[in-house]
Amino acid sequence: MQNAFTFVIAALLDLYLIALLLRLALGMGRVDFRNPLAQAILKATNPLVLPLRRLVPAAGRLDTGSLAALLLVQLAGTALLSFIACIAPAGPGQLIALGLLRLAHLVLRTCFLLVLVHVIASWVSPGGYNPVLGMLAALVEPLLAPFRRIIPMLGPLDLSPLFALLAIEFFNRLLPDGFAAAGMLCIPF
């Protein structure tokens, strides 16, 4: 029962963190915020980000309000999940380490999924335009650009997404698993 409850909380937390992460990426990528998906992301994250923007000043293209919200939600969620799933209470250092580690894994998983969906969409609708696919292309292009500079096109075949996916998975596997790194006796969440 506790595993199912922990899973639901972790899944909802991850979904909201992905929305905050996408909001941060949308601002950094200068994506059109009139896009319907961007509007949904803004609407879901505004209640937390807008008050934080008043407290934390922006730093260039970086939306520090969204970044602060992302970090606060991750740390609060990690503390909640740790309280529910761990046998022994976690110290503040452990919670911060585990929270940052979970956030790094989430960022890498999100990048992996964005590139994968972009590739599949390019196969399904190679020449068509959809506002969501346009936004997706704008989010994925900074991930693919370094690989496109190194790896030549093979006729119409672009292998840069394949190498981007391999690199993302490589870095994801370099990071230790959450509880092993934090030294906590917990049910994996």
Asked if 47 and 72 count as a contact pair (C-beta separation under 8 A), the reply is no
pLDDT at 34 over 90: no
pLDDT digits (tens, 9 = 90+) for 92-139: 888 888 889 999 999 999 999 999 999 998 888 777 677 888 888 889
Assigned token pair, 30: 């200068």
Q: What is the DSSP string of 48-117?
A: HHHHHHHHS--BTTB-HHHHHHHHHHHHHHHHHHHHHHBSSPPPHHHHHHHHHHHHHHHHHHHHHHHHHH
For the residues 83-87, what does the mean pLDDT come to? 76
Residue 181 — very low, low, confident or very high, per pLDDT cuts 50/70/90? very low
Percent of the chain at pLDDT above 90?
47
The predicted structure's pLDDT at residue 141 = 92
For the residues 1-22, what does the mean pLDDT come to? 88
Burial of 171 (0-12, 13-18, 19+ CB in 10 A): middle
Q: Is the pLDDT higher at 31 or at 42?
A: 42
In Å, how far from its chain's centre is CA 138?
A: 15
Query: pTM for the whole thing?
Result: 0.86
The predicted structure's pLDDT at residue 166 = 96
For the residues 60-83, what does the mean pLDDT come to? 89
Percent of the chain at pLDDT above 70?
91
DSSP symbol at 131: H
Q: What is the mean pLDDT of the chain?
A: 86
The predicted structure's pLDDT at residue 58 = 77
pLDDT at 140 over 60: yes
| CB-based contacts of 95, cutoff 8 Å, min separation 6 | 75, 78, 79, 82
As a whole number of Å, the CA-based R_g of the chain is 18
DSSP symbol at 126: S
Listed as own residue / partner, the contacts of 29-34 with beta carbons closer than 8 Å and 24 or more positions apart are: 29/138, 29/139, 29/141, 29/142, 30/61, 30/138, 31/135, 31/138, 31/139, 32/134, 32/135
| CB-based contacts of 153, cutoff 8 Å, min separation 6 | 159
What backbone phi and psi angles, to 5 degrees, belong to 59? -125, 90
